[in-house]
Amino acid sequence: MNKEQEFKPYIPADKVLPELTPVSIILGIFLAVIFGGANAYLGLRVGMTVSASIPAAVISMGIIRVILRRNSILENNVVQTIGSAGESVAAGAIFTLPTLFMWANEEGGVSPSLVEIALIAIVGGVMGVLFMIPLRSALIVQEHGKLPYPEGQACAEVLVAGEEGGSKAGTVFAGLGIAAVYKFITDGLKVFPSEVDFEIKSYKGSGVGMDVLPALLGVGYICGPQVSSYLLAGGTIAWFVIMPLIALFGGDAILYPATEPVSALGAWGIWKNYVRYIGAGAVAAGGIISLVKSFPLIIKTFGQAMKGYGKKKTSDGRLERDIPMNLVILGIGIMAIAMWLIPAIPVNFIGAIIIIVFGFFFATVSSRMVGLVGSSNNPVSGMAIATLLIATILLKASGNIGMEGMVASIAVGSVICVIAALAGDTSQDLKTGYLLGATPYKQQIGELIGVISSAIAIGGVLYLLNAAWGYGSTELPAPQATLMKMVVEGVMGGDLPWTLVFAGVGIAIVVEILRIPVLPFAVGLYLPIHLSTPMVIGGLIRYFFEKKKAASEEERKEKVENGVLYSSGLIAGEGLVGILLAVFAIIPWKDGSLGDAINLKDGFGIHLGNVGGLVFFALLCTTLIFFINKKKKGKKEAKSE
């Protein structure tokens, strides 16, 4: 408690500044929708999303401080709180809900309605925020100094450096603009392929390549060298060990689940028919291992939260005010009854019970996990897989079988996924607020506003992307949703290739024994190596600048931060243009689409091939290095004097 008493936030408790204002709410909702859409596209393409807290904070500072001339750091904090909720809603939704679209396309059924998607996202998002509120004191206050909450601290630092907001926002917008132009050239005009691919004929079954895209470079830089190297390690095992062995021993045999001889499949065929199941087993095992390792801490956190329920606080200061516990419990009860009784949400009584039990459990796990590894590395999909396995088994045992049972399983998994994502995001935001001296209940209300606004918008984004390309296509592989679909179908139909799944489980156990982080390795094993290679380049660029000798620690820190801001812009820029291209692809125009009318997919006759893709990616890396090295004008002037 002494540490807690010694800590002094940036804005003291006795000072009151504007926080939850009409300006912060409107700007926050706008950013929630924008970042939610951008992250939905990113996640459906590469299976990962990235925290939007820092770019939302920087953009809000650029608008509120520079354009609107308002000066309240706590108002900026509410903007990023509302804005980052959009990314988390998108993360939970796109890992599971596209499965419903895939089934509709395959079976000739009806796609989920906008109301259904919005309600699932709202229920999961609201419960994720409410589950986190009783954990705030235990995780944010009492564990201060033990749980770093990296993105929460970084966001607080960015906001504190208010006078530098203009230059920081400029770096984000530069990344956004460059990525937007780059993305339009490669995936719009098709001047060069966005995926460079080489199959190694002398080493049958193997292959190598790279998706030369801005978002992947940015994700790799933000995740850093360690996480990106674990991803590449998983991809290397898959594409240079497992796949060549399958090609060698399979020969001309037809091995389930493939319907063609192994020799006729090629590298991509082997990956699609076999390695994805091995990767699924590894991801599921990685999620379960992470949960088991965290279990003692979960029990401790839960116990601390329960102790605080009945105690009356000695002080009722601004910094201690959460949404009242009776309203939290009432809200959770309303959400539980709503998802059980509202026909638009395909969850029955058993599903509602599963959601309440696993929801609080995974909210606790997620809140603590992001405190250690950050929101971008939060294993939401691992939690969703564990939930889907259990939910599908229970629903099948209770007589909910066939398509109805599978849809119910995905609905349960979707709500849990959104709960876990929002609990993690809320804890990061509350950490930022704790450091700054924000009023907790105002942040929590802001989080709920962000959830509801982005949940309403996410259905439109999902419909738009499905109409443009369809989930499971080359443009939108939706790797996590495809994995969830595979798990539910396999458990419900009893035909999951369990040998391959358990092989993945075995690999995950060996990796854990070697004390290598399981989840990033397992994700790398599951995803094509083409996604890991550009990420590791981003990670290596960060490693170089982190280890490079600099004039001072402050200069090194500034360079790394410049890279994070520029990388955030790269991710946002590609995501936004991805959505724009989707709009062009579905707007009818004469005999084709608007995209055809403005000569998209033709590149005006210019096609640079794989070499062109590598050259452009090298130029993109050069821009990242340039902005990392870019110095503030004030510092240059000081040196010249």
Cα gap 197→191, rounded to integer Å? 16
What is the reported pLDDT for 28?
93
Q: Average pLDDT for residues 253-272, to the nearest whole number?
A: 88
Q: Average pLDDT for residues 241-245, to the nearest whole number?
A: 95
In the block, residue with structure tokens 């004039």: 551
Given a cut of 80, is residue 223 above it in pLDDT? no
In the block, residue with structure tokens 């907790």: 440
Going by pLDDT thresholds of 50, 70 and 90, the confidence category of residue 548 is: confident
CB 284 within 8 A of CB 216: no
Cα gap 166→164, rounded to integer Å? 6
pLDDT, greater one: 161 or 76: 76
Going by pLDDT thresholds of 50, 70 and 90, the confidence category of residue 638 is: very low
Mind giving me the DSSP string for 170-185? Answer: HHHHHHHHHHHHHHII
Q: Is the full-model pTM beyond 0.95?
A: no
Q: Which residues pair with 588 in a beta bridge?
A: 593
Q: Average pLDDT for residues 141-157, to the nearest whole number?
A: 77
Count of helix runs (H) and strand runs (E) in the chain: 26, 4
Given a cut of 90, is residue 227 above it in pLDDT? no
What is the reported pLDDT for 1?
39
Given a cut of 80, is residue 123 above it in pLDDT? yes
What is the reported pLDDT for 52?
74
Q: Average pLDDT for residues 569-588, to the nearest whole number?
A: 74
| Angle, alpha carbons 447-179-471 (nearest 5°) | 70
Which amino acid does the sequence have at 270?
Answer: I
CB 570 within 8 A of CB 535: no
Going by pLDDT thresholds of 50, 70 and 90, the confidence category of residue 335 is: very high
Given a cut of 70, is residue 385 above it in pLDDT? yes
Residues ≥6 apart with Cβ < 8 Å to 460 = 114
Q: Which residues pair with 459 in a beta bridge?
A: none
Q: What is the token pair recorded at 601?
A: 């997919």
Cα gap 128→423, rounded to integer Å? 5
What is the reported pLDDT for 636?
45
> Phi and psi at residue 268, in whole multiples of 5°?
-65, -35
What is the reported pLDDT for 256?
82
Least confident of 6-10, 182-186, 333-337: 6-10
pLDDT, greater one: 65 or 620: 620
Given a cut of 90, is residue 387 above it in pLDDT? no
Going by pLDDT thresholds of 50, 70 and 90, the confidence category of residue 294 is: low
Given a cut of 60, is residue 231 above it in pLDDT? yes
Given a cut of 50, is residue 288 above it in pLDDT? yes
Q: What is the token pair recorded at 209?
A: 């390549």
Question: Which alpha helices (DSSP H) does 194-324 contain, by range?
Answer: 214-237, 243-250, 266-270, 276-309
Given a cut of 60, is residue 5 above it in pLDDT? no
CB 570 within 8 A of CB 214: yes
CB 200 within 8 A of CB 207: yes
Least confident of 226-235, 291-300, 568-577, 608-617: 291-300
Task: Give the model confidence (pLDDT) of 444-463 as tens digits.
Answer: 999 999 999 999 999 888 88
- Coil, helix or strand at residue 523: helix
- Coil, helix or strand at residue 466: helix
pLDDT, greater one: 317 or 221: 221
Q: What is the token pair recorded at 591?
A: 């005999």
- Coil, helix or strand at residue 593: strand
Going by pLDDT thresholds of 50, 70 and 90, the confidence category of residue 23 is: very high
Given a cut of 50, is residue 437 above it in pLDDT? yes
Going by pLDDT thresholds of 50, 70 and 90, the confidence category of residue 405 is: confident
Q: How many Cβ atoms sit within 10 Å of the Cβ of residue 250?
A: 18
Q: Average pLDDT for residues 522-531, to the nearest whole number?
A: 86
Task: Give the model confidence (pLDDT) of 299-329 as tens digits.
Answer: 765 565 566 555 554 455 788 888 888 899 8
CB 191 within 8 A of CB 612: yes
The burial class, CB within 10 Å (0-12 / 13-18 / 19+), for 320 is: middle
Q: Average pLDDT for residues 198-218, to the nearest whole number?
A: 89
DSSP state of 165: H
Residues ≥6 apart with Cβ < 8 Å to 230 = 516, 517, 520, 521, 524
What is the reported pLDDT for 450?
95
Given a cut of 80, is residue 633 above it in pLDDT? no
What share of the chain in percent tops pLDDT 70?
Answer: 86
What is the largest distance, in Å, between two alpha-carbon atoms of the chain? 79
Q: What is the token pair recorded at 301?
A: 């956190």
Task: Give the model confidence (pLDDT) of 454-502 as tens digits.
Answer: 999 998 888 888 888 888 887 788 878 887 888 888 888 877 788 998 9
Task: Give the model confidence (pLDDT) of 177-191 as tens digits.
Answer: 999 999 988 888 888
CB 474 within 8 A of CB 197: no
- Coil, helix or strand at residue 110: coil
Cα gap 83→583, rounded to integer Å? 23
Which amino acid does the sequence have at 433?
Answer: G
Going by pLDDT thresholds of 50, 70 and 90, the confidence category of residue 161 is: low
What is the reported pLDDT for 210?
93
Q: What is the token pair recorded at 240?
A: 């240079």
Most confident of 45-59, 549-563, 599-613: 549-563
Mind giving me the DSSP string for 343-367? Answer: TTS---HHHHHHHHHHHHHHHHHHH
Cα gap 323→444, rounded to integer Å? 7
